[in-house]
Amino acid sequence: MITIQDFKKVELIVAVVRSVENHPNADKLFILRVDTGEGGERQLVAGIKGHYTPQELLGKRIIIVSNLAPATLRGAESQGMLLAAQDGEKLAILTTDKDVKPGARVG
């Protein structure tokens, strides 16, 4: 169990997917460019390639962890993490049900 203070340290925000590319060094990874509003654009590397096509992702409002330390995945820097739920082989990205602006806080 964590405290509410621990949970408040995690910054969850809405981001809009602006571009999707295949990762040049990995079969299951996409490189996404997302708009985080006033936080600007950033790059995410996500292992969702077998579950979504680039066309399905473009324009989608997703939930990301914005204050995660950057990590390099197969040579590409990821500047955050998108949230997804997995049920066996099924994977679903967490999205908004209304058009809220990029950068809106979740919580």
Q: What is the mean pLDDT of residues 4-15?
A: 96
Q: Are strands 71-73 and 84-87 parallel, antiparallel or unpaired?
A: unpaired
Q: Is residue 105 a part of any domain in this protein?
A: no
Report the CATH number that the domain containing residue 32 is assigned in CATH. Answer: 2.40.50.140
Q: Do residues 41 and 80 touch, judged by C-beta distance below 8 A?
A: no
Domains contained in the chain, number? 1
Range of the domain at 16: 4-99
Residue 107 lies in a domain: no
Map tokens 């990029």 to a residue. 102
pLDDT, position 107 = 84
CA dihedral in degrees (98, 99, 104, 107; nearest 10)? 10
pTM as predicted:
0.93
> Does pLDDT of 104 surpass 90?
yes
**Residue 29 to residues 49, 50, 76, 78, 96: CA-CA distances in angstroms?**
6, 9, 10, 11, 23
**Per-chain mean pLDDT for the chain:** 96
Q: At residue 51, does pLDDT exceed 90?
A: yes
Is 52 inside a domain boundary? yes
Distance CA 76, CA 63 (A): 21
Task: Return the residue matching tokens 């998108």.
Answer: 82
